Structure 1
């Protein structure tokens, strides 16, 4: 795997990214859930980099990217991706986003359609503000002495009880990612989720789209995935047994669905 590189956005934010896989393959950009970093895809790299040039990046406020102290917007998070593609001279790419990354994918499909070949939206929604108390979460994360309790809450939402019942290396890795996320970065992305409603406008997405949902996801529920797939023209829906971080909980099936969709006939 390559090491992290950085570029600076138009508004002065340093964004970390890395590229894996052969130069001559189609580019597949991977976008993380909130409170993780690009390493949430580590287990997907061996399988997917055989067929794709993988472009991973740390969302603004996360990982080795800068975390400006401000409310972020979905427009800004989407433009970060467009500017990353511009920096690398990539005209078009496939895009796979999970959770927050799926919101960013929807934004790109609507507002930067000329940059997206095929779109995969995993464990995501088009609107969450009516269901999740984002202002309360922003206050809580900015007031917390550390990220430990917040990380434990994420683990309960992300993984099945069976994985949480005993020591588990995957859960430990993801808990570590949450603990390392700057509070202001998490708060900034909570603000972007609070302020966005894509429910109607995703009907404009023209890219071939695969929607992946978890049957037991309690945050971005299967019903959210069904609603997205019903609104985007000709979208394909796949529900997998599992919770939220399906790319590790159901790694083989997830990678198979992604690869077969991206390699399907145009």
Structure 2
């Protein structure tokens, strides 16, 4: 896959769709790579030039010393876009990708056409939860990542979906087992330290918020909190847990496309 050289390493990316189409950037969740969006690509690429990438610390992208910051990850996105000579774009991010989307909406809103914030929150989790996970992963290395994979199935998908659709669920959680422990821990710190609750009002791009009714990590209440503070924001809720783009599948794809193209 192609890469863009940042100041401290290479960022892995992939582009699908026609060269002249408007650009849609997809941003993965913590512990996954750009392939988490595979189900959306056929439909999205019919109408958009779809740019997806492995966030720093994930997939085939650079792994640098942590902790990371969401601002740092957002600036990686802008550097990627600048390198590809892309000025205006829409952005769809899930979970940690949604935090990156919030940062972009607050700090680079003039470049955004539309913003989709999926299964995310202005503040995700507590310091205690993240610090415990960071310590566990750094101490346990790749075995700890494999253990996290097994524990994450219940957070990422409803039990009924995981049981009925193992061919869809297992490759996604398998990404977690392959993630760099150093990169994962550094990104956990970025999520831990991000708090945009007081800055959401600065987002002016048309915004869609996507929630999963069974998401225990970033709940529908978190979604409504953002909707109340982002002027004109729309909200859609699916029968899904944390990875609604995988679990809700076509319904997710069509709802996001409808928002982006209207």
TM-score with structure 1 setting the length: 0.95
6, 20, 31: which one pairs with 2:3?
6
Report how many residues are paired: 260
For residues 152-173 of structure 1, give each alpha carbon's deviation from its aligned partner in whole angstroms, at most 9, with x where no partner exists.
Answer: 1111100110133367111220
For residue 240 of structure 2, what is the aligned residue in structure 1? 242
Work out whether residues 13 and 60 of structure 1, in 8 Å CA contact, stay in contact via their aligned partners in 2: no
Deviation of the 1:240 alpha carbon: 1.1
Deviation of the 1:244 alpha carbon: 1.1
Structure 1: how far apart are the matches of 2:170 and 2:125? 29
Deviation of the 1:129 alpha carbon: 4.2
Structure 2: how far apart are the matches of 1:32 and 1:69? 20
For residue 208 of structure 2, what is the aligned residue in structure 1? 210
53, 59, 65: which one pairs with 2:61?
65
For residues 97-133 of structure 1, give each alpha carbon's deviation from its aligned partner in whole angstroms, at most 9, with x where no partner exists.
Answer: 0010000000000011122110000000111243761
For residue 187 of structure 2, what is the aligned residue in structure 1? 189
Indicate whether 1:140 and 2:136 are aligned.
Answer: yes
Work out whether residues 124 and 220 of structure 1, in 8 Å CA contact, stay in contact via their aligned partners in 2: yes
Structure 2: how far apart are the matches of 1:5 and 1:88? 11
Structure 1: how far apart are the matches of 2:128 and 2:214? 18
For residue 261 of structure 2, what is the aligned residue in structure 1? 263
For residue 230 of structure 1, what is the aligned residue in structure 2? 228
Indicate whether 1:164 and 2:162 are aligned.
Answer: yes
For residue 28 of structure 1, what is the aligned residue in structure 2? 24
Q: Which has a greater percent of helix?
A: 2
Structure 2: how far apart are the matches of 1:250 and 1:165? 15
Deviation of the 1:175 alpha carbon: 2.1
Deviation of the 1:216 alpha carbon: 0.6
Structure 1: how far apart are the matches of 2:165 and 2:219? 26
For residue 96 of structure 2, what is the aligned residue in structure 1? 100
Work out whether residues 211 and 237 of structure 2, in 8 Å CA contact, stay in contact via their aligned partners in 1: yes
For residue 51 of structure 2, what is the aligned residue in structure 1? 55
Indicate whether 1:82 and 2:78 are aligned.
Answer: yes
For residue 252 of structure 1, what is the aligned residue in structure 2? 250
Work out whether residues 32 and 59 of structure 2, in 8 Å CA contact, stay in contact via their aligned partners in 1: yes
For residue 118 of structure 2, what is the aligned residue in structure 1? 122
SS in structure 2 at match of 1:218: coil
